[in-house]
Structure 1
Amino acid sequence: LLRKIEEMFALKAKYQNLKLTFQKETDIPRYIKTDEGKLRQVLINLLSNAFKFTEQGQVIVRISLKKSDKKINSYYSNLNYLHFEVEDTGCGIDEYEIGKLFSPFEQTESGIRSQEGTGLGLPISQKFVQQMGGDITVSSIVGKGSVFAFDISIKLAQATEIPVAKAKKIIGLKDKNTEYRILVVDDIPQGRLLLVQLLSSIGFHVIDAENGEEAVNIWQKWQPHLILMDMRMPVMDGYEATRQIKAKGTETIIIALTASAFQEETAGILAAGCDDFVSKPFEDKLLLHKIAEHLKIDYLYESDKSQAIIPPRSLSANQQLRELSADDLKVMPLAWIIKLHQAANRVNNREIFALIGEITAINSDLATKIANLVHNFRCDYLVTVTESIIDQQDKMIDITAIPSFRD
């Protein structure tokens, strides 16, 4: 879990020119029993805030083990504690505003200036931590930064208690005689392309829309079985689009796509009529599981009897990235590879997706692999793999002479 979160924010740190450090004490247990989902969301939320309000310097995550005989409740009693700290060198928080941090819909002056979030992040984080047997504290100095700290009560676990599963790849729909229509709604072009590529490769019939108004019009004419609805869009947002569609008494399933489980009000999403929600960034397997659950469908999986059973801890983002190899890219013209290298080196997602668009029709599998890397914030991996191809060329090539897209 910690490795995946560190990988998730590593590229963001590089892009913002910040130093990200995870400091783990040597006695941290490898396996624990706790609510993984809640812990993940709390860490993502605190790190997101740290990066949002830090323009220079660093973000540090510290994890240590504590022991206590304090009895919290019937379940969390006489247990070990994990102590987390998220420290940043950002703008800091005035003392008089610290009291607002854990009040729903309240935002500090810096939060209002950022024009991001709804003021729900920290209150929900606090609730999650309390449900895990701890609490959140904050200390801050204006102009120097902040430290958010929390403890969670844990039970130690053994490797034999960790469930194992086959790393199976979904290759299609089991029912090939039924047409399943999915509408993807997102104002970010690369987000739409990623989902269209993913779902189309499995066998879904997919149409995309860039705002809620367009989504409502497409729904009326096409009647999709399921809609993946981004909630924050111009023209018409996902809330209003969902209300208009559900007001017609439709059976269409609507799954909300949110920037974070904390940045959107869960109650508001469900009140608008959404049947479920998925937080960004999400793993493909989670989204596909949600779709299968709501449409009551089964997938076909790649069969490979020799495939090893891998514990969840090994299913890291790095392992998923190895699906793209230098050999995959070597089928493309060198000039195209160099453009991809340049775009990835600048973390220019728009340019990368423009290049993906050039190959979608002729090599959809490669397009999907590259899109997945961008979705997982791993432009650094694209830089590495493209650089290895360029370096292998017999002739010296002036990379700067190759034209590139303008930002």
Structure 2
Amino acid sequence: LGLSISRQYVNLMGGDLTVRSELGQGSLFQFDLLVELAGGTELEGETRHKRVLALETGQPVYRLLIAEDNESNRQLLVKLLEPLGFAVKEAVNGQVAVQIWEQWKPDLIWMDMRMPVMDGHQAIMHIKGTAKGQDTVIIALTASAFEEERERVLFEGCDDFVRKPFREGEIFNMLVKYLDVRFVYEEPVEYPASSHGQEEVQAPTDLGEIPSNLIADLQEATITADMTQILKSIEQISLHNPAAAERLADYAHNFEYKKIL
């Protein structure tokens, strides 16, 4: 994150970050915080996971607009939502988003805050400043971790707020909350909880046949959550180990990045 912003985070939590450095030896960065001890929570013996498969029949065709200048981030949402049956359009900046909104009348807009030409803040105020814009749900997407940013976008007229990187469950929950969307879910898969109350992560198929540079490329793309590059890397891996590529693709589409790493 960088020392300056890291220190700000620590200060906001009531602590401080310090550094001790010796020439030719290295540097030690440390911080201290006063925190309350959390009470232990007993986990159930089984953890249930449900994956969205499709939209229930008998619903309208929901129109979703994705306003995001980063193509990888846009495609992440497009590939998550379009296969389920949503009508999806994309905007590369706030100005294009406003134009599409005026012509297409989407039911919900996923609005990135930092975009060229016209940013998300300006686009939100333009849309919500009109009578018909009051009926359009706008969900802000931002990488900011500060509460002030959340308060700002809500004040400007956003209906809700999702921080990046998001989980697919957060996206689906917003659609249920604001559009009353009904989903078809796969049957819950039950996993025995480990002795530490965490899900056991299964190792992917043996990667020994795959060139090390392809594995490194995949890991780098996964760490940065670059879905476009992740899928490109998996496509290259499939030429060497189709079984491993199939499993890795399943992890990617389900946003199970820890299993990929």
TM range (shorter): 0.7 to 0.9
Q: Deviations over 1:318-343 (max 9, x none)?
A: 56xx7xx669xxxxxxxxx9996574
CA drift at 1:185:
1.2
Question: Could you say which residue in structure 1 is the equivalent of 2:92?
Answer: 210
**Kindly tell me: are residues 225 and 258 of structure 1, through their superposed partners in 2, closer, same or farther at Cα, counting changes over 3 Å?**
same
Segments of structure 1 that go 5 or more residues without pairing to the other structure are 1-48, 54-109, 112-116, 127-134, 328-336, 359-364, 383-407
SS in 2 for 1:308: strand
Deviation at 1:201, TM superposition (A): 2.1
Residues 1:377 and 1:166: Cα distance change in structure 2 (over 3 Å): closer
> Which digits, 9 at most, give the CA deviation of each residue in 1:206-238, with x for residues without a partner?
111111111111111111100111101111111
Q: What's 2:81 paired with?
A: 199
Residue aligning to 2:241: none
What is the identity percentage for the equivalent residue pairs of Structure 1 and Structure 2?
Answer: 31
RMSD over equivalenced CA pairs, Å = 4.1
Distance of 1:173 and 1:339 partners within structure 2: 39
Matches within 5 A, 1:6-405: 49=1, 52-53=2-3, 110=4, 121=9, 125-126=12-13, 135-141=14-20, 144=27, 146-159=29-42, 166-249=48-131, 250=133, 251-262=135-146, 265-303=149-187, 307-308=189-190, 313-315=197-199, 318=201, 343-344=217-218, 347=221, 349=226, 352=229, 355=232, 369=250, 371-372=252-253, 381=260
Where 1:303 maps in the other structure, the secondary structure is: coil
Normalising by structure 1, we get a TM-score of 0.49
Q: Are the structure 2 counterparts of residues 221 and 366 from structure 1 closer, same or farther at C-alpha, using a change threshold of 3 Å?
A: farther
Q: Secondary structure at the match of 1:153?
A: coil
Question: What is the CA–CA distance in structure 2 between the aligned matches of 1:173 and 1:122, rounded to whole Å?
Answer: 43
List alignment gaps of at least 5 residues for structure 2.
236-245
Contact residue 120 and residue 262 of structure 1 kept, 8 A: no
Amino acid at match of 2:138: I
Residue deviations 1:230-263, cap 9 Å, x none? Answer: 1011111110011111111221111111103328
- 1:19 is aligned to none
Query: What SS does the corresponding residue of 2:36 show, helix, strand or coil?
Result: strand
Paired residue total = 239
Do the aligned partners of 2:73 and 2:227 also contact (CA within 8 Å) in 1? no
* Bigger relative contact order (CA 8 A; separation at least 6): 2
Residues 212 and 237 in structure 1, CA contact (< 8 A), matched pair in contact too: yes
TM-score by length of structure 2 reads 0.72
The answer to whether the 8 Å contact 1:198/1:368 transfers is no
Distance 1:209 1:257 in 2: 14
Separation in structure 2 between the aligned mates of residue 263 and residue 155 of structure 1, nearest angstrom: 22
Amino acid at match of 2:17: V
Taking a change above 3 Å as real, the CA distance of residues 188 and 175 of structure 1, as seen in their structure-2 partners, is same
